[in-house]
Amino acid sequence: MAKKKFDTNPLDPDFPEKAKAAAEGASSAPYTSPQRSPYSTSEYPTAPPSITEEETRRFEGAQFNAYAYQNVQAPLVYQPSPFADMNRAGDRKVAKTGIAEKWLVGLPYLPFWIGLVAGLILLLVLPKEETKVRFHAAQGFGAHVAILIISTILGVIGNITNQGFGSFLFGLVTTILMIVWAIKAWKGKPVHIEILDDLTNWFEEKIGPIRSS
């Protein structure tokens, strides 16, 4: 009977030697690489050659300027203009008044009727080009108008209730505030009453300089 391919007897005393001989015969056979399929994916490209430190070093300042500004005038370094503080009121004489600007910007904030009348006159006299003085005139005039309205309401309430302390306290506080604002404006410090923005803009726009015929 013909011997089959796997017809081996593991109980055969010569089985280990035969198996070893078969393994050595298989390992000595020449290796053939598998055939490349026409449908195989392309190989990943190899990395480019590494860039050396010499190629990537930065230009020094002199070398950079030599390349960057050849035949071109190098830009000048910006130097801030030596302007004085723009918020500071100066001694410039304001047109049509002959009065220094620092006095006119603080005048509308003086308490009582002084600032009220001064602010109105400045709005009627100064041209629109005097934006800084006109702003303070409109804001001071608006502050006086608001104080006058609230004081009137508190006075009426005080007469009804026989309690005039609230009106007195409001007048004292607003008088102190107006003096503080006048001093700040005279020193050139910003004075901005945010709650009066709309009223200030309305007065500045509606009350313009009187044109002589």
Domain ranges of the chain: 101-206
Percent of the chain with pLDDT over 70: 59
Percent of the chain with pLDDT over 90: 42
Measured between alpha carbons, how far is residue 100 from residues 15, 58, 167 in Å? 124, 58, 36
Q: What is the pLDDT of residue 39?
A: 55
Alpha helices in 49-196 (DSSP H): 53-56, 61-68, 101-106, 113-125, 131-161, 165-186
Give the mean pLDDT of 18-22.
71
Report the range of poorest mean pLDDT among 13-17, 26-30, 161-165, 179-183: 26-30
DSSP 29: S
DSSP 14: T
Helix or strand or coil: residue 39? coil
Report the range of poorest mean pLDDT among 9-18, 96-105, 168-177, 190-199: 9-18
The owner of tokens 């006299």 is 125
Sign of CA dihedral 63, 67, 72, 77: negative
Question: Does 137 have pLDDT greater than 90?
Answer: yes
Q: What is the pLDDT of residue 178?
A: 96
Q: What is the pLDDT of residue 167?
A: 86
Most confident of 46-50, 61-65, 101-105: 101-105
φ, ψ of residue 57 in degrees (nearest 5)? -65, 150
pTM for this entry: 0.56
Give the mean pLDDT of 39-60.
52
